[in-house]
Structure 1
């Protein structure tokens, strides 16, 4: 699968610090945050950018506008959104850069963040399947807008809280509705869940390796069936900006397991909780590290 004609292409998991515009005349204060997130990614040299995911947390950004959900509660049958949820910001990113990923919070993660207050659903697994159908509509909107790939975030998968067979079925329902490549992002320690996670029908598997280096050993013993790996090599949870040399060493360790041509280079997770200066510094050093290694493997 070729997303971009470059070895070790760089990308982001998604979120970026929110830099809102202040003042009485800021009709859409988060528009400035989107513009800042996109501009900072481009300045850093990221190959496949996001819109920054600045309009709320990863749950509320989707659930607040899905019919059947009120606040944090499911009160009726979950339906697809009446209009696109993330496409406007994604289109802005596409106006500035040709390669943009659309990002969805996964159906199981959403289902576990909500209270079920309707007899419509007996359990979260049933809810996740209807959420998947709603998210599939948004995924098709993103595909029509021109994104390079759609990423589905399922952090719940590594916690042991979700039914992974049902979660896989829900993710696959989204994937099967698309023609463009898809990516599954799961953060955390994969040791107890990797066999189920690998059954998801995505083209790219995105995991964290900076904070969870044990994931390298876990993945090295598995057959990825020719799929690409989103290789988290920057610690998203730390405010320290790793040196280029540190990131180079982490990427080299990944190359020994996966090979350079199978890897996309990105942070472990979103950078929303860091300062703008920290997030920008991490991205710039990550791009520099990939650039330092690229000639050796091209």
Structure 2
């Protein structure tokens, strides 16, 4: 599968530091400026497949606050699709500035574990997960129709042991089944005990962290990816320091020892929202430069 015309395309996991606007226009939409800053920062850094910056709240509330059946952090009735698109406007803005954009959804299992069930409609969390998947599939359709290159589903809960991964995987598959666009499943954390279950998902790309969790490379090196791609986290999203180009380059080359360059997307371990704007930009810029150096080694 080819996502871009370049080998080792660079991308982001999603979030970027929030830089709120000021003045009269900001009164109408105080986070519009944050979207613009996030998109511009990624483009200026040279990222091949950007995001909208995910600046509109935390990854749970950004979605659940729009879904009928949910009030605050409580499920009070049957969860339904949002009455209007949730992330479409920001994604369209990103697409107006750059040809390759990744749409991003917080996964059904991660959303479900951020909610309390206060209705007899759901007997357990697994039933909730499947209804959340149907609601998210509608949002995914909007993003696909807008022209995204890739849809990412974030399921950090999968590595914690708290989720029923079999049900979570069924939910992810329910989303991918309704799409033509390639789907990426992002799971951060240590994959040691869950990798086999995760790799059964029907997705095109698996996105994992390898900078902060180098042991993941050994775990996945023993697995058959069956032609799927790897989103290769090579920048530590938890470290406020900006890694040098050489450090990132060595991490990428270590990944290439396991995966084919044709099978890799290069990105940070996770989102960069908690870093300063300068640190986030510096990390992305150095990642792009390091990737360019590695690409040069594999030119035909």
Pick the TM interval, shorter chain: over 0.9
What's the counterpart of residue 247 of structure 2?
A: 246
- Distance in 1, matches of 2:193 and 2:91, equals 34
What's the counterpart of residue 89 of structure 1?
A: 90
What's the counterpart of residue 80 of structure 1?
A: 81
* Aligned-pair CA distance for 1:259: 1.5
Confirm or deny that 1:21 pairs with 2:2: no
What's the counterpart of residue 105 of structure 1?
A: 106
What's the counterpart of residue 9 of structure 1?
A: 9
What whole-Å deviation, never above 9, does each CA across 1:135-177 have from its counterpart, x for those lacking one?
0000000000110010000000000000010000000000101
Secondary structure, aligned partner of 2:269: coil
| Pairing of 1:9-158 with structure 2 (within 5 A) | 9-26=9-26, 27-158=28-159
- Distance in 1, matches of 2:227 and 2:172, equals 19
Confirm or deny that 1:166 pairs with 2:167: yes
Unmatched tracts of structure 2, length 5 or more: none
What whole-Å deviation, never above 9, does each CA across 1:249-278 have from its counterpart, x for those lacking one?
000000000021110000000000000000
- Distance in 2, matches of 1:197 and 1:260, equals 22
- Distance in 2, matches of 1:12 and 1:151, equals 10
What's the counterpart of residue 270 of structure 2?
A: 269
What's the counterpart of residue 199 of structure 1?
A: 200
Tell me which stretches of 4 or more aligned residues in structure 1 moved more than 6 Å: none
- Distance in 2, matches of 1:215 and 1:168, equals 20
Secondary structure, aligned partner of 2:248: helix
After superposition, the CA RMSD in angstroms is 0.6
What's the counterpart of residue 284 of structure 1?
A: 285
What whole-Å deviation, never above 9, does each CA across 1:33-60 have from its counterpart, x for those lacking one?
0000000000000000000000011001
- Distance in 2, matches of 1:18 and 1:118, equals 35
Unmatched tracts of structure 1, length 5 or more: none
What's the counterpart of residue 231 of structure 2?
A: 230
- Distance in 2, matches of 1:22 and 1:152, equals 32
* Aligned-pair CA distance for 1:107: 0.0
* Aligned-pair CA distance for 1:22: 2.4
Q: Scaled by the length of structure 2, what TM-score is found?
A: 0.98
What's the counterpart of residue 209 of structure 2?
A: 208
What's the counterpart of residue 177 of structure 2?
A: 176
- Distance in 2, matches of 1:25 and 1:65, equals 23
* Aligned-pair CA distance for 1:24: 5.0
